[in-house]
Amino acid sequence: MALGTLARRLAPHGLRPQAPVRRRPFSLVFPARQDGTGRELFVKLLTARSVGVRRNFGHEIEILQALTGQPGVPALVAASTDDGQVFHACDHIRGRSLLEIARSPEGRDLAAVLERAKALADWISALHRLGIAHRDLSPDHVFIEPDGRLVVIDFGMARRTGALPAEERLRYEGYDLQALGMILWEMICGHSIFPYRNRALREVLRREAALVREAALPAAVRRWLLDCLSTPSEFTPDQRFFLR
């Protein structure tokens, strides 16, 4: 969609789109400025017509509304669920994602990696206490701002858990805990451990274990990583559920 078309569509909401405009499977994402204040925002505009996708987008707006003002969550500034205009606009993030950091020279600083992992673990714990599970955490959804603050984006898969049965609530929260481990792995090793639902998981784990044994890592970290790579047959039923 051309920038001029976006500008006409968002003008009634006091937003002026800026380049670049990136196309995602169900949406367009782009920076924008708020008229009057000049506030820098980041907009996600839904392009899909699917009822299910639109419903999930509405859930994302509700979650952002509930979390606005909470540490580590970009503030929701504007949103619309009108039939012809479904979007939300949040404060623009200036920092780098954990994915970018993991691929940079500073990403090899183990102390910094563990400090960021602890900050993310604390954020996840606070989110779960609020009765919400993110369910889509990944290194490109977690950012470190220039002042060191951690900020998490993309709540399209997030769900409220407060009213769920205990087993289902723990399962939703388990997605976030599994993701935390996978993010920490990627931050330490510089690459992802494995994609979800990989049918060749056992061989992937063997290959990763070999890399860990050869890596110049502190002995305690090497033992911890190798423990994480126990064969699937040694996992608990709950752990096997998350590896399906």
**Domain CATH code at residue 43:** 3.30.200.20
pLDDT digits (tens, 9 = 90+) for 82-125: 867 899 999 999 999 999 998 888 877 889 999 999 999 999 99
**Which of 109, 3, 96, 87 lies closest to 41 in space, CA to CA?**
87
Total domain count, the chain: 2
| Domain boundaries, position 56 | 3-91
Which residues have C-beta within 8 Å of that of residue 2, sequence separation ≥ 6?
Answer: none
Same domain, 56 and 129: no
Q: What is the pLDDT of residue 42?
A: 96
Q: What is the pLDDT of residue 188?
A: 85
Quote the pTM value: 0.79
Q: What is the pLDDT of residue 236?
A: 42
Low-confidence ranges of the chain (pLDDT < 50): 196-197, 231-244
Same domain, 25 and 146: no
pLDDT digits (tens, 9 = 90+) for 201-226: 667 777 778 888 888 888 888 887 77
Q: What is the pLDDT of residue 237?
A: 40
Furthest-apart CA atoms within the chain: distance in Å = 60
Same domain, 176 and 70: no
Q: What is the pLDDT of residue 165?
A: 94
Same domain, 20 and 134: no
